[in-house]
Amino acid sequence: MQLFKPVTEIDLKVLRNEWAEEFPGSHFGCIWDVRPAIMSALRGALADGSEEPIQRVLTANPYLIQYAVDHSGHHGIWVFPKPMIKPPGADGSPGLIPDYLVVTRSSLGYFWHVVELKRFDVQFARRNGRGLGQDGNKAVVQCNIYLSHFQDYIDAVRSNVRIDELIQPKGAIVLIGNSVTENEEQCECRANFVRATPSIQVVTYHRIIRSLESDLGFRS
């Protein structure tokens, strides 16, 4: 007697499509999307030296972003690129557009995060470890502005981005730099910042590379 029905490629495709439709308008990614070609695309984008190629690769391969989200498991990720959470003001003041608004799922439910990208060839902290570098400081300021706007105007944000299911983000994630080329002082400064500022996680691109390598090895 057969107790369990084998899972086929068709079953996985149907399930993936069902998950993707949970948040219309998003880019959905899950572990079944992992392929060796993604690593080549990611390394090429990181080597380019600017943020735009990185954003193109992450948007085309949303599961890469899940590697930056703590405690997200392998339940998939829904990604909204460049959402306008605040439109420009009538007085000409600029709007607010984070790089990503993402939602992940775990056994505890759904969790939203704001994600801000910075370059691979810069570091979060100054070389001497005494404070944040220019790019790191800019990212933190941006994230604090985004989170404050969500806190004060969540209903307006929900209307602006047209996502009825949107709730308060759990926090923000800054993707920046390369932990392999950080010195000890920079690494310590980054770790201390994360401990002192639980609403903002700082993740280097090496974590994404390492996690992707692990999943590729598991699936090979």
Whether domain 9-219 has CATH 3.40.91: the reply is yes
**C-beta of residue 167 within 8 angstroms of C-beta of residue 133:** no
Please give the backbone phi and psi of residue 80, each rounded to the nearest 5 degrees, phi first: -115, 105
Helices 36-48/205-219 angle, 10° precision = 160
pLDDT value, residue 4: 41
Strand duo 100-106 + 77-81: pairing: antiparallel
Spatial CB neighbours of 135, under 8 Å, sequence gap ≥ 6: 118, 119, 122, 123, 124, 176
Q: What is the pLDDT along the chain (220 residues), one digit of tens a residue?
A: 344 445 566 667 788 888 888 999 999 999 889 999 999 999 999 999 899 999 999 999 999 999 999 877 667 899 999 999 999 988 888 899 999 999 998 888 899 999 999 999 999 999 999 999 999 999 999 999 999 999 999 999 999 999 999 999 999 999 999 999 999 999 999 999 999 999 999 999 999 999 999 999 855 4
pLDDT value, residue 12: 73
Helices 36-48/51-60 angle, 10° precision = 160
pLDDT value, residue 73: 66
pLDDT value, residue 140: 98
Measuring CA to CA, how many Å separate 183 from each of 47, 48, 123, 189? 20, 22, 10, 10
pLDDT value, residue 3: 43
Query: Which DSSP letter does residue 99 get?
Result: S
CA-CA distance, 132 to 138, in Å (whole number)? 9
pTM of the full structure: 0.90
